[in-house]
Amino acid sequence: MMNERNGYVLAIDCGTQSLRTLVFDRYGNLISKIKEDFEPYFSTEPGFAEQDPELYWNTLILCMDRLASESPEILSRIEAITVTTLRGTGVMLDKHGKVVRPSMIWLDQREAACEKSLSLRTQMMFRAIGMEQAAAKSRRLCKVNWIKENEMELWEKTEHYLLLSGYFHYKLTGRMVDSKSNQVGH
């Protein structure tokens, strides 16, 4: 529980073009804001949009270093941390926790072929609730499905697939955990 007079909350907000660290007091007053911009993505082919997950992590380190140098007294008062990141950005890690490939970010336009059918039972459930087309579209847009179809050798090296928020949690705590709200089926 936060100290009623002194505790601060550190909010880590990683977006498409920048990362921000924001520190709030218990009343929601902004105490500190540090922002670092970065290149939104790189593209090796038209429609591709990727970024190295380490860029996001290193940018967080830069923000925290700035916070420590500009306002060292704030760090000792942080009692809680919250993380929010750009949507749909998966991080593939090998068995040693090392990044396997750059992340495909939400701007990436690749679609999987999904030639292998879902089980008959699953198809019937989606049909029964009127979501058959939505489920098919979601399957095609799922970046993991594209990777499985086109980069099987990298997928086979993957031990863990985390969303970017889960990757931050892993780097911050050593645990592969994430918020329930981030369990969206990627």
How does strand 8-14 pair with strand 50-51? unpaired
Q: Which helix (H) or strand (E) holds 18?
A: strand 18-24
Proportion of the chain above pLDDT 90, given as a percent: 90
Q: Give the confidence band of 186 by pLDDT, cuts at 50, 70, 90.
A: low
Is residue 184 scored above 70 in pLDDT?
A: no
Whether the full predicted model's pTM is greater than 0.85, yes or no, is yes
- Indicate if the pLDDT at residue 2 is higher than 60: no
Question: What pLDDT score does 87 carry?
Answer: 84
Domain coverage including residue 16: 8-106+158-179
User: What domain count does the chain have?
Assistant: 1
Domain CATH code at residue 74: 3.30.420.40
Task: Give residue 81's Cα distance to chain centre.
Answer: 16
Distance CA 34, CA 18 (A): 10
pLDDT band at 88 (very low <50, low <70, confident <90, very high): confident
- Assigned token pair, 98: 């090392």
Is 77 within the bounds of a domain? yes
User: Is residue 81 one of the residues assigned to a domain?
Assistant: yes
Residue 151 pLDDT exceeds 60: yes
- Kindly state whether residue 116 falls inside one of the protein's structural domains: no
In a domain, 153, yes or no: no
Residue where the block lists tokens 């907000």:
13
